Structure 1
Amino acid sequence: MPVTDADVERWLREDLGHHDVTNDVPGSTEGRLIAKEAGVAAGLDAAVAVFDYLGCDADAVVSSGDRVEPGDAALRATGDAQSVLRAERVAVNVAGHASGVATKTRRAVDAAREVSDAVEIAATRKTTPGLRGVEKRAVVAGGGDTHRLDLSHMVMVKDNHVAEMGLESAIRHFRERKSFATKLEVEVESPVDATQAADAGADIVLLDNMTPAETKRAVNLLDGAALAEASGSITVEDVPAYAATGVDVISMGSLTHSAPSLDYSFSTSVA
């Protein structure tokens, strides 16, 4: 899901409004996106796209996934001053948000690696409307897995489905309707339900809101019959305890919905 001109136009229209006097500056200029704190860079492709859309020349100085330290330049842009200044805030916002997601993801991955080299840290669909592509790529930049990008990537049987249809009936219903190439994941809330889901044909069992002890019991009961995914309000601090249970995946909505932006500034000089 690359950033499109339509995305950039929507972002700029939101910021510029109807009559932008603030950026009515003559001449040309050069600017740099500067990290003000340490973190993992992401979203620079989107930031470059904003400058490009307004006719500026822009290039990322670092690659997505690189660590940046305070004072490091992440991007350079040149062009007429009005266009550079108009692009500045949108570019800083999108790069800062994406880099915050990448930085939090890297923290979670590092925490998992303290215990396990195998467990995956994954995002969820708890993304900002209109920014899913930016946020999912930022998760990858931080070393995480995107999980499903949209509803077509995997069938997930959730608690509402089970409440309406029953666990085994819901699994049977969706297995009959999905493609052979599409995985079926089933959300359960107890270790016993995990084995029932696997026996009924789940490819992946999502262990929802279980404690590490309950998660470990579920993993032991599954014994490889299906992939095991832990999810449900798991924080970075919780990751090592869940990684030690033997689950295959730890998914965290907070990677995208609660990551603080990485602090960047944009400084210009007359060319």
Structure 2
Amino acid sequence: MLTTTQIERWLSEDVGHHDVTNQVPGETTGRLVAKETGTAAGLEAATAVFDYLGADVLEAVDGGTRVDPGDELLVLEGPARTLLRGERVAVNLVGHASGVATSTAEAVAAARAERDEVRIAATRKTTPGLRGIEKRAVVAGGGDTHRLDLSHMVMVKDNHVAEMGLEGAISHFRERVSFATKIEVEVESVADAPQAAAAGADIVMLDNMAPAAVREAVAALEEAGHEDVLTEASGGIGLEAVPEYAATGVDVISMGSLTHSAPSLDVSLYTGEP
């Protein structure tokens, strides 16, 4: 949920203390318009900004809607000064979120062309202060949020293994988590995948492995009787590599680039009559 404090912080950053630029008289209408093809997201945040300022949002497309150049994402009315003050914040939020959703949709389509079952997931590599918006954008693009924060799942990483050993680390955290909390274990070799599963991992992350190694690890888990353990491929996977990873039989492909490198979708706010 967006808070009033978040919205005030965004507006304060842009409007400042003495805004002369937007001191425009009268009432007007506004249209937030897509200027390129993509997947819309971030409209709830933009609506919240305009609601806070006192503008009326008459129409808004749903997150996940496929849009083309010229399509209207939001239709507004209210004081010209209000619409102009919310313009840059709304455009930035929708452009960024829609870029994340568009990148996610492209990755999902690339994966599903190989296998319908594979999921595309985000990571915690999000922009500070914008995680909620970016994670919602991933969902709008058809992706999976992965864990939203550290409390959602324990991830046993290389540093944990270096300190306690693979089996020791899994045992350490298993004793401390709720029955409802899953444990994911990061491995970097095919041999470690069934070892992690045998030690109690719910999910095995195949980190920085080439597709051929991922395929071997998935097969090794099945041969060892751990076919119920979920597998996740992760580590610098770009859009061009998604089909090859999807074909390995892995359950999840996680991509930090969905949030930290997605190009913004080009959108603009126009006021006055079309």
TM-score range, shorter chain: over 0.9
The answer to whether the aligner puts 1:261 opposite 2:261 as a matched pair is no
Q: Which position in structure 1 is the counterpart of 2:147?
A: 148
Q: Distance in 2 between matches of 1:10 and 1:266?
A: 21
The answer to whether the aligner puts 1:234 opposite 2:237 as a matched pair is yes
Deviation at 1:129, TM superposition (A): 0.6
Q: Which position in structure 2 is the counterpart of 1:62?
A: 61
Q: Distance in 2 between matches of 1:193 and 1:60?
A: 53
Q: Distance in 2 between matches of 1:258 and 1:6?
A: 27
Deviation at 1:24, TM superposition (A): 0.8
Deviation at 1:29, TM superposition (A): 1.0
Q: Distance in 2 between matches of 1:270 and 1:250?
A: 45
Code of the aligned partner of 2:183: L
Q: Distance in 1 between matches of 2:74 and 2:143?
A: 23
Q: Distance in 2 between matches of 1:241 and 1:64?
A: 29
Superposition map of 1:35-114 within 5 A: 35-114=34-113
> Is contact 1:198–1:225 with CA below 8 Å preserved after alignment?
no
Q: Distance in 2 between matches of 1:194 and 1:129?
A: 32
> Is contact 1:44–1:60 with CA below 8 Å preserved after alignment?
no
Q: Alpha-carbon deviations, 1:171-210, whole Å to 9, x = none?
A: 0000000001000000000110111100100000000000
> Unpaired runs of 5+ in structure 2?
none
Q: Distance in 2 between matches of 1:103 and 1:233?
A: 19
Q: Distance in 2 between matches of 1:177 and 1:6?
A: 35
Q: Which runs of 4+ in 1 moved over 2 A?
A: none
TM superposition score normalised by structure 1:
0.98
Give the % identical residues. Answer: 71
Deviation at 1:225, TM superposition (A): 4.5
Q: Distance in 2 between matches of 1:180 and 1:213?
A: 34
What SS is found at the alignment partner of 1:7? helix
Taking a change above 3 Å as real, the CA distance of residues 88 and 12 of structure 1, as seen in their structure-2 partners, is same
* Alpha-carbon RMSD: 1.1
Taking a change above 3 Å as real, the CA distance of residues 212 and 233 of structure 1, as seen in their structure-2 partners, is same
Q: Which position in structure 1 is the counterpart of 2:24?
A: 25
Q: Distance in 1 between matches of 2:264 and 2:180?
A: 37
Deviation at 1:226, TM superposition (A): 1.3
What SS is found at the alignment partner of 1:237? helix
> Is contact 2:43–2:60 with CA below 8 Å preserved after alignment?
no
> Is contact 2:134–2:259 with CA below 8 Å preserved after alignment?
yes
Q: Distance in 2 between matches of 1:4 and 1:30?
A: 26
TM superposition score normalised by structure 2:
0.97
Deviation at 1:60, TM superposition (A): 4.1
